[in-house]
Amino acid sequence: MALFKNLFSKPLSVQLTVTSNNGFHLRPVAQFASLAKSFSCQVTATFKDTTVDTKSVNTLLSLSLEKGDTFTLVTRGKKANEALQKLQLLFWTLMQSDKEIRQIEKTVHRYEGSIVEGEIISEGIAIASVYNYSTKEVQHKSDMDFKEALHKSMDELETLYAIQKEEDNAGIYLAQRELLSSLGSESQSLARLEERIKEESKKLLGSKLDSKRSDYQDILQRVKKHLGLEIQITFPDTPFILLCRDLLPGEIDNLLRTKVAGVILKETSIHSHTAILLRAAGICSLVADTTKLTQNETVILDAHSGVVVRTPSSNDTEKATEHLEQAVAQKALSATKRFKPALTTHGKHIKVFANVADISSAKTAKDEGAEGIGLLRSEFLFKAVKPSLEKQQKAYKEIFDIFNDITVRTLDVGGDKALPYIQIPTEENPFLGVRGVRLFRTHPELLEEQLHAIFLAAQNRPIKIMFPMVSTVEEFTKTKSFAQNVAKKHQIDISHIRFGIMIEVPSVLFLLEAFDAVVDFYSIGTNDLTQYLFAIERTHPLLKADALSPVVFSAIETITKQTTKPVSICGELAGNRDAIPKLLSLGIETMSVSPKSIAQTKEEIRNV
């Protein structure tokens, strides 16, 4: 029926021109395809004589659109007009916001040894022996079939995207997820997926998108790992400089757990996802001709000057060592400081907690110096299938074991967050619809099971539970008594558990006196609060509310002045260096930020 409608309705079209210097590359293409997929109408793009379906990342990518190219976007069928408008807006925004990756300028060097020139990926200096990339295949036991492995891999990529949304490299995971989703939907077996990946990679060979071939290999390895076939890289246990043709983006994380001093890649570009992740990880690296280097020879990798120094003279080594020692001392200083409490210049301790989504981000938060968890976004714990009570209890317990001070938010689904196993009827305005705590009116069994699991995992720990999107006092009191009844039913003592709310809905600002009489604490969610104060959807492609507007600070001041209960802040504003002094002056004493922002947030606080 939909096909019929699409075939016989009038097509709508618009001409779009690529204006970003990077072209229409994988990350923006993935966002575009993801939006196109949300419409049931046909959405195609025509460039020169080729027409492709834009709902599939790899077909859209195959147009190889570069700066200055104009293509025709055509929509046909149900909501064709809306699709055209929204995709056009998104395309313009993607073009405008696509940051150009510039070549890092090289400093002049005066080395006496022989030099191999390269291009800088990520700045730094290393002196170590070189080690050629080598792998071994390891077989694990796995109970998953191909489809399960595929879903598990997509789920992991979605979580990686969701928890790093605030960072520059998050788009890589969305792009890989979209690639896997389109190739996976065409494949019924691992062999077929491998075949498709081979075909698609072949098309990119020698093209401007050549370096994206490693993304294809990366997603394949992710699926294979879940099927029990893992390719492991072997690393020496002394410091080394890794030599490699190219690395897969997914391998960078493993590298961080080794004694890697630097990386030299032969065939990548400074724009590749591997390069972006090497920069994000701060690993000193170059693109250079590795064939000239031999296993175990000691070299200087100077990724400020963009050179590898072979057979360095004693002068070269002395200079490089001095440079390296300075960098190591600087790094050690900020690393140890991240575990120290953040005291303002007046000696006031401001607690810096983390916003986490699962066990892995909780562990990262610990390593980054978080003093607790200010927001556990529980909706990201189980994204593909509904978990059993036991699975939930185990996941919560693992996280509760890491920190003493933990605030868990009950499921916050609806609006921009969906879970495949929770059905919410389609709404015209989902951000104003069944979201957060409102979901439990229609799905009380979900809340019951979640609370039961949290109570069992908490045992005697004094954890905090908060409800999202609360807009009236009654909503809170009803949900809290529901929780008490769950505890009673299962005979669990929850006298040590405190209950609070997220402040995300402006109505709460006018009800603080009444809320104060019933809640134990508040956590301000500035992401949603700002959205609702300005009536601008937080995911809108064109409109953007000013996160640093005096209106937002005035709302926070209203809260801190009127309430006698503890208030923390867990929206993105807490990690914004321009906001921190103001937030402290308004009396905020606990901030919860993304794990990667902890050290920097503490440093900012120390300057206030």
CB-CB contact of 545 with 531 (8 Å): yes
Tell me which of ligand PEP, Mg ion, none is bound by residue 62, counting a contact when its beta carbon lies within the kind-specific cut-off of 5 to 8 angstroms.
none
How many chain residues interact with ligand PEP (CB under 6 A)?
A: 10
Q: 28 or 525, CB closer to Mg ion?
A: 525
- Mark the segment that binds ligand PEP (CB under 6 A) among 41-49, 131-139, 452-460, 525-533: 525-533
Tell me which of Mg ion, ligand PEP, none is bound by residue 570, counting a contact when its beta carbon lies within the kind-specific cut-off of 5 to 8 angstroms.
ligand PEP
Does 525 bind ligand PEP (CB under 6 A)? Our answer is: yes
- Mark the segment that binds ligand PEP (CB under 6 A) among 32-40, 82-90, 197-205, 524-532: 524-532
| Residue 38 CB, nearest approach to ligand PEP (Å) | 20
| Residue 35 CB, nearest approach to ligand PEP (Å) | 20
| Residue 527 CB, nearest approach to Mg ion (Å) | 5
| Residue 468 CB, nearest approach to ligand PEP (Å) | 7
Q: DSSP string of 462-525? A: --EEEESS--SHHHHHHHHHHHHHHHHHTT---TT-EEEEEE-SGGGGG-HHHHHTT-SEEEE-
SS3 at position 368:
coil
- The residue with its CB nearest to ligand PEP is 525
Tell me which of Mg ion, ligand PEP, none is bound by residue 526, counting a contact when its beta carbon lies within the kind-specific cut-off of 5 to 8 angstroms.
ligand PEP
Q: Which of 227, 164, 158 is nearest to 190 (CA)?
A: 227
Q: Which of 72, 78, 79, 69 is nearest to 54 (CA)?
A: 72
Q: How would you classify residue 436: left for phi > 0, otherwise alpha for psi between -120 and 50, otherwise beta? A: left
- Mark the segment that binds ligand PEP (CB under 6 A) among 237-245, 297-305, 308-316, 522-530: 522-530
Tell me which of Mg ion, ligand PEP, none is bound by residue 251, counting a contact when its beta carbon lies within the kind-specific cut-off of 5 to 8 angstroms.
none
Instruction: Determine the residue type at 72.
Output: T
Instruction: Determine the residue type at 215.
Output: D
| Residue 504 CB, nearest approach to Mg ion (Å) | 5
- The residue with its CB nearest to Mg ion is 528
Among 527, 558, 560, 600, binds ligand PEP (CB under 6 A): 527
Print the binding letters for residues 166-205 with Mg ion: x by CB under 5 A, - otherwise. ----------------------------------------
CB-CB contact of 136 with 306 (8 Å): no
Residue indicated by tokens 């590298």: 255
CB-CB contact of 118 with 264 (8 Å): yes
User: How many angstroms separate the CA atoms of 493 and 79, rounded?
Assistant: 53
Among 178, 528, 537, 604, binds Mg ion (CB under 5 A): 528
Does 501 bind ligand PEP (CB under 6 A)? Our answer is: no
CB-CB contact of 406 with 400 (8 Å): yes
Residue indicated by tokens 């025709």: 72
Give the full edge-to-edge strand order of the sheet including 70-76.
Answer: 12-17, 70-76, 42-47, 50-53
| Residue 214 CB, nearest approach to Mg ion (Å) | 35
- Mark the segment that binds ligand PEP (CB under 6 A) among 43-51, 109-117, 319-327, 523-531: 523-531
| Residue 371 CB, nearest approach to ligand PEP (Å) | 18
> Residues 412 to 451: which contact ligand PEP by CB under 6 A?
412
How many chain residues interact with Mg ion (CB under 5 A)?
A: 3
- Mark the segment that binds Mg ion (CB under 5 A) among 13-21, 70-78, 249-257, 504-512: 504-512
Among 358, 475, 504, 537, binds ligand PEP (CB under 6 A): 504
Tell me which of ligand PEP, Mg ion, none is bound by residue 246, counting a contact when its beta carbon lies within the kind-specific cut-off of 5 to 8 angstroms.
none
Among 570, 580, 583, 605, binds ligand PEP (CB under 6 A): 570
- Mark the segment that binds ligand PEP (CB under 6 A) among 314-322, 330-338, 422-430, 520-528: 520-528
User: How many angstroms separate the CA atoms of 591 and 508, rounded?
Assistant: 20
Q: 43 or 413, CB closer to ligand PEP?
A: 413
Residue 484 CA neighbour count, 13 Å, CB half: 10
Distances (CA, A) of 240 to 182, 258, 295, 343: 38, 9, 10, 38
User: How many angstroms separate the CA atoms of 277 and 599, rounded?
Assistant: 19
Q: Which of 343, 364, 361 is nearest to 352 (CA)?
A: 343
Q: How would you classify residue 228: left for phi > 0, otherwise alpha for psi between -120 and 50, otherwise beta? A: left
| Residue 497 CB, nearest approach to ligand PEP (Å) | 21
> Residues 373 to 402: which contact ligand PEP by CB under 6 A?
375, 377
Q: 212 or 377, CB closer to ligand PEP?
A: 377
- Taking CA 204 as the corner, what is the angle to CA 203 and CA 205, rounded to the nearest 5 degrees? 95
Alpha carbon 287 to its chain's center? 26
| Residue 571 CB, nearest approach to ligand PEP (Å) | 3
Tell me which of Mg ion, ligand PEP, none is bound by residue 472, counting a contact when its beta carbon lies within the kind-specific cut-off of 5 to 8 angstroms.
none
Q: 121 or 570, CB closer to ligand PEP?
A: 570
User: How many angstroms separate the CA atoms of 43 and 99, rounded?
Assistant: 26
> Residues 348 to 377: which contact ligand PEP by CB under 6 A?
375, 377
| Residue 324 CB, nearest approach to Mg ion (Å) | 44
User: How many angstroms separate the CA atoms of 255 and 133, rounded?
Assistant: 11
Tell me which of Mg ion, ligand PEP, none is bound by residue 571, counting a contact when its beta carbon lies within the kind-specific cut-off of 5 to 8 angstroms.
ligand PEP
Quote the crossing angle between the two packed helices 444-458 and 473-489, to the nearest 10°.
60
Among 124, 525, 541, 595, binds Mg ion (CB under 5 A): 525
Q: 275 or 354, CB closer to ligand PEP?
A: 354
- Taking CA 583 as the corner, what is the angle to CA 552 and CA 496, rounded to the nearest 5 degrees? 100
Question: Is residue 92 classed exposed, middle or buried when 0-12, 13-18 and 19+ CB atoms within 10 A define those classes?
Answer: middle
Does 528 bind ligand PEP (CB under 6 A)? Our answer is: yes
The residues binding Mg ion (CB under 5 A) are 504, 525, 528
The residues binding ligand PEP (CB under 6 A) are 375, 377, 412, 504, 525-528, 570-571
